[in-house]
A and B are shown apart, each in its own frame.
Chain A
């Protein structure tokens, strides 16, 4: 399965944020969407998630036989950097509700097993979500997306402002979940992208450009990317 984006354009008034996005994402890989602050990473995700209308272009899934399938809302899991959760529910209540409304899901774990998997502390599970820490809210958001098991996972800077331990736990979960789906992980932190992702894609000047993955891990790699971002910005 591939996720294909073809000539996607998005403008706000006269400002063209996404100029001509054309890219193919492959199943089972984590793509690091790298771009500077304000480069349009969140806009790109919002377009894919149909939160905002696009001006032109299309995106779809393509199977091995080359057949196109439209992207449905249930195909997408979207994690935002500042998660909002229904504050009037406890973690357990929210998870119960989430599993119940996804009738198509046949959970292979109990609620507590899911909590254990995501390392949600026991004393947090029956507290209102409004009292959760930022990190635990992030874990909850991730857990819900794991349960929903979408074909396409959009992660919008989900590790921002997490402590070292939780960030590491989240990275491991993302790595473990990459099989059978396409994961696009946006970040403006180069180190995180290099550490976590199989492929790196630059979003700059409104376009997506792949970076040769064979260089990933080279000492010069970071400098090359920084130079590329600077060059394009100056261009």
Chain B
């Protein structure tokens, strides 16, 4: 049996080292500049493999020290510190130092062990090496999983026994030193056994044997909520007597035995099925450093249809929007709601302040008058005018009066054009680019126009909300400087939003920077993006009179749309291609 264990373990270690080394070389070869210099021979260079292997062993030992030795060592030290504190302050009359120390150590250790159980990868989890071993090399999945499990338990026992030296130095009883590793093993057995039990139940109900990650997260969150309570109780002089702690440890030990029985019942077919049902590609994704992020764009449902009057690209766009509404429209809507909530809170604060000073009747009057003032583009009027002398109020008024370009910031936050272009590419354009009609100049510009209008509509609400927010500031801090300033502020925000959406949509059409995994693969796109971001940042600080700004923005937007459409019409057919 030991021979079999050793043989399996050696195979796993060997395969892991190959995967690890090749993964490292692959990642290096994918690195810009360096990658081109590195030869393919690296994959077979024995010298480097040995260096990697030595490095790998060092990492394993380091992990052992950090995870096990440091963890339990700190628990011993913390228990020692608390015990001395309790004894010195006479908080637990009659309790012996050793029993108090053991009680604290057991409490913290059990919390630590359960957290570790929830955070660590399950025995049944999928890994690349396991997949190769089981499905390609035909290894028994149970034997493989339990070999790795025993290897883990062995590391745990060694680590905790070494950590026990720290315990011995600070006065831990001998039974605790030996008992902790055993308890740790039993807790792990319980955790694994419980998973085996749950998975067997699922198999009985003919369900997929998925590992329950959500359940683990919920339990871990609960544990995090319990921890402050424990710390608070301990800080206030409470402690759990040793016999109770030993009782709990005893129950955990019994559960560990139950877990062992459950693990034993979990046969190789179960192990294989769990592995199969949990196959993922997260490890390879980690090597390539460019994970496949298309998953978020694939949550589609055939919900309803669109107006039958829409034809061709109008029909395509309407369907696209309908099936991607949560992805595309949600962000601008949430932003708009937040702006309105903030505005509501500001108005409520004004009314409350007035109510406090002048009572309900006057307050009703004031609200009525000011609603009328708002509609007639006047200024806020009451006897408080609390923001007039307020430095914050003055600052915000100064922004709304003469630095309206600052509204680019909220507009940029609310804008969802970049993500929309990703969705357009991955779920629509990527496929249609294989058809010749889709690359025709006239058709490209037609769809571009439809999408541009769509983006304007989607971002209209947050743009208007941003303009209204600027107006609310003006309203409460002295009103508008010239007739129609309120109106023009909203117009400026809308124009800013139009230009902002146009930039990202046109850039998508001009560079088509996405790969089939929606990663950006275009140097020129990235450079342009940086330049655009810098220019927009500078623009935010430019002072401007709202009236002049409106005129400038009107002209600029018209010219900008004209130029961008021309560029798209001319260049997009050349770049409108699928990038692998």
Residues in A lying within 8 Å of B, measured CB to CB? 49-52, 72-78, 80, 83-90, 93, 96-98, 100-102, 126-128, 130, 141, 144, 148, 150
Contact = CB atoms under 8 A, between A and B. Distances in A.
A87 B312 CA distance: 17
Nearest to B516: A84
A97 B312 contact: yes
A50 B302 CA distance: 34
Given A84-B430, A86-B427, A73 B302 contact: no
6 contacts: A50-B439, A76-B436, A88-B300, A89-B319, A90-B302, A127-B302
Contacts of B319: 88-89, 93, 97
B287 to A, nearest CB: 24
B434 A73 contact: no
A74 B434 CA distance: 11
B577 A51 contact: yes
B324 interface: yes
B316 interface: yes
Contact of B316 (A85, A87, A97, A126): A97
B432 A86 contact: yes
Contact of B436 (A77, A80, A84, A97): A77
Contacts of A148: 435-437
Given A51-B578, A84-B430, A100 B302 contact: no
Q: Lowest 3 A-B CB distances belong to which pairs?
A: A73-B436, A88-B323, A84-B431
B197 interface: no
A148 B443 CA distance: 15
Contacts of A141: 434
B315 A78 contact: no
A150 B436 CA distance: 10
Interface string B118-160: 0000000000000000000000000000000000000000000
Contacts of B301: 128
A199 B437 CA distance: 29
B440 A73 contact: yes
Interface in B426-468: 427-428, 430-432, 434-437, 439-440, 443
Contact of A73 (B311, B313, B439): B439
- Secondary structure class of chain B's binding surface, majority of residues: helix
Contacts of B435: 78, 98, 144, 148
Given A88-B300, A88-B323, 12 more contacts: A50-B439, A72-B436, A73-B436, A75-B436, A76-B436, A80-B434, A89-B316, A93-B305, A97-B315, A101-B437, A102-B437, A130-B298
Q: How large is the interface on B (under 10, 10 to 19, 20 to 34, 35 or more residues)?
A: 20 to 34
Interface string B289-320: 00000000010111001000001110110011
Contacts of B323: 88-89
Nearest to A102: B437
Contacts of A127: 302
A133 to B, nearest CB: 16
Contacts of B298: 87, 130
A78 B316 contact: no
Contact of B428 (A74, A80, A86, A102): A86
Contacts of A93: 305, 315, 319
A85 B436 contact: no
Given A87-B298, A88-B300, A78 B437 contact: no
Contacts of B320: 88
A5 B578 CA distance: 24
A122 to B, nearest CB: 16
Contacts of B428: 86, 88
Contact of A85 (B311, B431, B578): B431
Interface string B35-77: 0000000000000000000000000000000000000000000
Contacts of B315: 93, 96-97, 100
Contact of A87 (B300, B305, B434): B300
Contacts of A101: 312-313, 316, 437, 443
Contacts of B316: 86, 89, 97, 101
